[in-house]
Amino acid sequence: MASKAVYLHRDPMLKKRDDFEDILEERRNSSDLRYALRCYTPVLYKEMTPCTASELKSMVLQSDQLQYVISQVSKEKGTTADEVQTEASAILDEMAHRLQLSTIRFFAYMLCKIFKTLFRSICVNEEGIQRLQQVIHEHPVVLLPSHRSYLDFLLMSYILYTYDLALPVIAAGMDFMGMKVVGEMLRMSGAFFIRRSFGGDKLYWAVFSEYVKTLLKNGLAPVEFFLEGTRSRTSKSLTPKLGLLNIAMEPFLKGEVFDVSLVPVSISYERILEEALYARELLGVPKPKESTSGLFKARKVLSEDYGSIHIYFGQPVSVRSLAEGRVNRCQFNLIPRHIPRRPGEEISSFVNDSAYRLVRAQEENMVLKPWVLLASLLLQNQAAGQKQGMPLEELIEQAVWLRDLSRQYGAFLHWPDHVPPSEVVSSSLSLHRGLVRISEGKVQLALEQGGRAGAGTPHSAVTPEEELLSQAVVILSCTSYRNQGLHVFLRPALVASAIHTATSNRKQEVFNSFTFLRNMFSNEFILCPGAAVQDFEEACYLLVKSGDLQINQQEILVTERGHRTLAFLTSILDPFLQGYQVVCRFLCEEMTEGLTEKQFVPAVRRFIIKHLLTGRLRYAELLSSDLQKNALAALLRLGAVRKQKGGKEEGSLKVNTVMVNSLEDTLGGNLPTQKALVARL
């Protein structure tokens, strides 16, 4: 078991949630080998006996649903059922995990060494572990961690092994199979490999879904997957993918199990291993292919300090409770269970709403470090054109103000109050010294360090565009930390921006403007469908509680002290507003015939670089491909842009110039345009 010493640096805000303990503390004081080889006897679902990989394979291949699909596919292809059965068996061999305790022990030993080198502490909420232990015994369990780093799934297995809990079976992308030795070791530690997309492959989908459902129905192991589908390169939560969640809920919906427990897990990194890699990816540098050699080349990270990690196991969410009053399960009695069927509108809506709720639970339990606040302040200072930086004393004062504001908004903030603010800030700046520099008592982003990629090149040989892109690496790295806290400020920031752009201070006008912005940014942030009124009221409540707004039945008024808060909040959203505006401008001014979605990002990036170099734009974070893709997705959803279907121009983008121009004006606060467009949307 992990050390029972409760993590000491407890923030007053953490008392609202569970206490943490540092599981590395004991590892620093006892034998790693003894830890790896200790007796491991996890509690299983209803005391079941674990089955072998071959027994699991047999259960999947003989299932009624898969046999039905095999029969259907053999008729469609004109082949024998035996041939299709052989194909299904081969898919399963490629996909299935082969969990072996010896491999788990090897990983436990190696990860101890690596984690103690990389991190100061790995803090886990023990009460969450106790809740998980209970639900694993009672129901099939699905673990849903946030996904910000390749380390996420290794951390999850390491923690469950530490606490003597059943190890999860983990959905992993096929990319990892290319890692030869490491890929097979991941398979033997519980990973099962799935394709990124299945197309219309009925057989593959049937094998995959039956494999996951067999694991769940029989409680053979907790199933783990990432609701966001992929790592977030920006540290913002991504729109949830619903395929695996649909599969995980199906055994309950069809009455094959009494309940399924969904456990959201929030993993918060003080410093992300891949910070520069992500920034370069967002600037269009291709992602390195996963390989064993690449893993060994990455060993230099072991010499760096990555601070602490907080892992929070949230309250288990019962699918039975979620479905109560929402889903009529009688519909599943109308046809035999083994016949596959597409989810109807009721089920799709239920799964979608549940997915958003789960991602919001992940966000709310993210532990924010002081650097999240400092990065927000330094980015705003840099965008305001303060090239000389911010005086350290002023940064400390602003950080304390923002700390108090974020706590009022319910942030899960880890700021040790027994340490003077100057020391908290200095420690945070030191940990992130690759992104900031202090000179003559002033702090600023280390933009000159972004040029490391061009090391050895004489400064005169660096073009303005190369210099801009190298600075953008630092800025995008900082925005990824600012983004960790966006969910705390998002709804009040939408209200602040709505007040700024509304036609008057009448409550209805502000709400209309809020609704427009919320709708516009629903691809950018996690905003639950159908919750506009709730979000508006929640944000207004926070702004009134903090003394920044006064609201009566008709009007919303900004107080004297509220101007500072609203200025900060509007500045948070300003890069996104300007990013969406510039995408609209590109589509109206420089859009070429036959431009496809794939060609859009490089083209709009060139457009943005041109305007940044001339000084017409001030946010280098507009170069993020994530922001550009989200803006296009919003315009496609709103019908301002559409994809051509059929003919020579299939897949090319067709722009409704009038509507896109109107959206650009509205985002820029053009009030008459806004009133008309809000009514239209």
Most confident of 242-246, 455-459, 676-680: 242-246
User: For 147-184, what is each residue's pLDDT tens digit?
Assistant: 999 999 999 999 999 999 999 999 988 877 667 677 88
Q: What is the DSSP letter of 174?
A: G
Residue of higher predicted confidence among 291 and 331: 331
Report how far residue 264's alpha carbon sits from residue 225's, in angstroms, rounded to the nearest whole number. 10
Least confident of 126-140, 359-373, 460-474: 460-474
pLDDT at 455: 42
pLDDT at 3: 38
Report how far residue 295's alpha carbon sits from residue 383's, in angstroms, rounded to the nearest whole number. 36
Question: Three-state DSSP class for 256?
Answer: coil
Question: Three-state DSSP class for 352?
Answer: helix
Instruction: Tell me the residue ranges of DSSP E strands in 440-577.
Output: 442-445, 549-551, 556-558
Give φ, ψ of 436 to 5 degrees.
-135, 160
Selection from 205, 256, 240, 259 nearest residue 351 by Cα: 240
CB-based contacts of 212, cutoff 8 Å, min separation 6: 171, 223, 244, 247, 248
pLDDT at 175: 75
> Residue 368: pLDDT above 50?
yes
DSSP string of 254-283, one letter each residue: TTSSS--EEEEEEEEESS-TTHHHHHHHHT
The whole-number average pLDDT for the span 301-310 is: 89
pLDDT at 430: 96
> Residue 83: pLDDT above 70?
yes
pLDDT at 315: 96
pLDDT at 681: 45
pLDDT exceeding 70 applies to what percent of the chain? 91
Report how far residue 629's alpha carbon sits from residue 227's, in angstroms, rounded to the nearest whole number. 20
The whole-number average pLDDT for the span 307-335 is: 91
Selection from 292, 14, 264 nearest residue 143 by Cα: 264
Which residues sit opposite 439 in a β-bridge? 442
Read off the tokens for 546.
């903090």
308-313 and 121-125 as β-strands: parallel, antiparallel, unpaired? parallel
549-551 and 556-558 as β-strands: parallel, antiparallel, unpaired? antiparallel
Q: Confidence band (pLDDT; 50, 70, 90) for 650? A: confident
> Residue 271: pLDDT above 50?
yes
Note whether 657 and 588 are within 8 A (CB): yes
CB-based contacts of 230, cutoff 8 Å, min separation 6: 147, 173, 238
Q: Confidence band (pLDDT; 50, 70, 90) for 358? A: very high
pLDDT exceeding 90 applies to what percent of the chain? 75
User: For 203-229, what is each residue's pLDDT tens digit?
Assistant: 999 999 999 999 999 888 899 999 999
Report how far residue 534's alpha carbon sits from residue 276's, in angstroms, rounded to the nearest whole number. 37
Question: Three-state DSSP class for 253?
Answer: helix
Read off the tokens for 489.
């400020």
Report how far residue 642's alpha carbon sits from residue 635's, in angstroms, rounded to the nearest whole number. 8
pLDDT at 292: 46
Task: State the average pLDDT for the chain.
Answer: 89
Least confident of 4-13, 130-139, 308-317, 600-609: 4-13
User: For 4-61, what is each residue's pLDDT tens digit?
Assistant: 333 333 333 344 578 899 999 999 999 999 999 999 989 888 767 778 888 999 999 9
Which contiguous run of DSSP H or E holds residue 169?
Answer: strand 169-173
Least confident of 170-184, 290-304, 482-496, 595-609: 290-304
Residue of higher predicted confidence among 372 and 12: 372
